[in-house]
Structure 1
């Protein structure tokens, strides 16, 4: 079987029964991009931490009840895509990009502890040490308890494909847009130089969503961006882009997203025209952080109230055990 730690020359697809071959490559990634389908059928991607469950051969992710949109989307339409494309923190520059398309489930059960998720929480604590501060003392536990109230997403792969390692050069764009220009195009153009690529999400009618890492180039006056080297099988229609980054310890994170239209220009090139920006989960300063925490607590409260649920008691001892060095 193919050793997927070696980048293939062209994208390849393997049946689901051979997906076990990619586990070594996937496990080296710190994050992936998870796309679920919005009510309008647009794949919306978020950066996510993951674990591959060896007992079921499925990919496990979680989301806080403060950020439940992924769960709502999956419960309405189980089709998802995962892209492993950002090697930051792996110490590798040759990892192939890996696209996993499949179906997901996200039950209503809220997990305030670690039972059944020990590997996931251990992986998070080891690879993102700063996350331990959320439950470090009585004050932080009260402020960030919503962070530990998790919904579990389980992805069953249907199709797996690989592509060469991503281009890590920064994109351009700031020189052609100013804040005075306003709108989603200007905002996105201003942000491009801070990222080495964008994740483009598309979905043909009735098909599983597709994620691919592309490079965007602003096209002044058009309200759109040229999509460089998009690969095969693009379809015009609703689309989204995600830009995100993190340091080697999954910290200093930044995320920018937009939804819009993927169109074919008169010159035959593909272009993405953003309609609106998506909210960010990672604040840039203390003021934004306060707003995120307030909004997160309110959303968690609303999630529980609408279901007539009491606030679950968090198993702090179990979480502390998973954070210990060498926890198994």
Structure 2
């Protein structure tokens, strides 16, 4: 594998970033752990900023950015691009997230157009009266703008296939067992780490069961790793950004005899349903979370600009 290359200029990589349907976006939690989520982004026309949004029903990314602006984005999953030659690109920098709630498309026309084209099923939320009622929170958006500080690209490693689950009891609810049971559904994982005062680092790795311990051995690009708090994200989607599955955990990263290991201590909640009943549960939770966000700020429930979303989604 060739050595990674580093730059501070997005211009040369904008076309590559635009190929990716999603990327992993990491912020620093209150406890200092970098936690990543799958997101859709848009690179500004001037190629000097990266824009993404989050619903007020899932505002943790915004809260983290407002408290600690250090962030990272990893473009590493080529699903839906039809290509296998795309490099992995890590963007590290700082972000800001104003308090304003955006309910239309002004200033975000390209973002919403890209989302409609690449995830056409998402436009179904606004097509019916019931959909608009149930999913209004989806269109109440906080805008996060990332200013890159360092951009690194490297050739991806080849994955031999799904990871293996550890031999654990079905009733074992430990973080190790819960994360381990998810591994066969994924070919790799995204490891998030951070050092004091620096933006997070994200990298694609593989996790293997470490015999005789409640840890996973980390295989992949490990240069620059530092022991300490870390997180793991497992995520996949189909070519149309649908049928998404997500699992993740926070924990501790360490090294013994030259080998890196990850010990999970807390499983992170998923935002993606696995069945219709799960979908109704998540919708209910999202509506309540959006109401709490508004109530705590003394804000009325905003009116969504449905006409703007219909006219802007030209995909």
Q: What is the CA-CA distance between 1:231 and the residue it aligns to?
A: 2.6
Report deviation, 1:58.
Answer: 0.4
Deviations 1:243-297 (A, max 9, x none): 00000000000010100000112x2200000001000000101121111111100
Match of residue 34 from structure 1: 25
Q: 1:102-141, aligned counterparts within 5 Å?
A: 102-141=93-132
RMSD (Å), alpha carbons: 1.2
TM-score normalised by L of structure 1: 0.93
SS in 1 for 2:197: coil
**Distance across 2 between alignment mates of 1:138 and 1:55:** 38
Deviations 1:115-153 (A, max 9, x none): 000000000000000001111110000000000000000
Equivalent runs, 1:210-249 vs 2, <5 Å: 210-249=201-240
- Displacement of 1:172 after TM fit? 2.4
Shift of 1:11: 1.2
Aligned with residue 59 of structure 1, among 19, 39, 50? 50
Give unmatched runs, 5+ long, in structure 2.
Answer: none
**Counterpart selection for 1:12 from 5, 17, 27:** 5
1:57 Cα deviation (Å)? 1.9
Tell me how far apart the structure 2 counterparts of residues 51 and 123 of structure 1 sit (CA, whole Å).
8
Question: Corresponding residue for 1:158?
Answer: 149
TM-score normalized by the length of structure 2: 0.97
Aligned residues: 315
Distance 2:300 2:47 in 1: 31
Contact 1:214 1:229 in 2 (8 A): yes
Q: 3-state SS of the aligned residue for 1:295?
A: helix
Counterpart-to-counterpart distance in 2, 1:246 and 1:120: 19
Q: Determine helix, strand or coil for the equivalent of 1:284.
A: coil
Determine if the alignment matches structure 1 residue 278 to structure 2 residue 268: yes
- SS of corresponding position for 2:86: coil
Which residue number corresponds to residue 264 of structure 1?
A: 255
Whole-angstrom CA distance in 2 between matches of 1:56 and 1:33: 19
Counterpart-to-counterpart distance in 1, 2:97 and 2:118: 24
Q: 2:288 aligns with which of 280, 283, 298?
A: 298
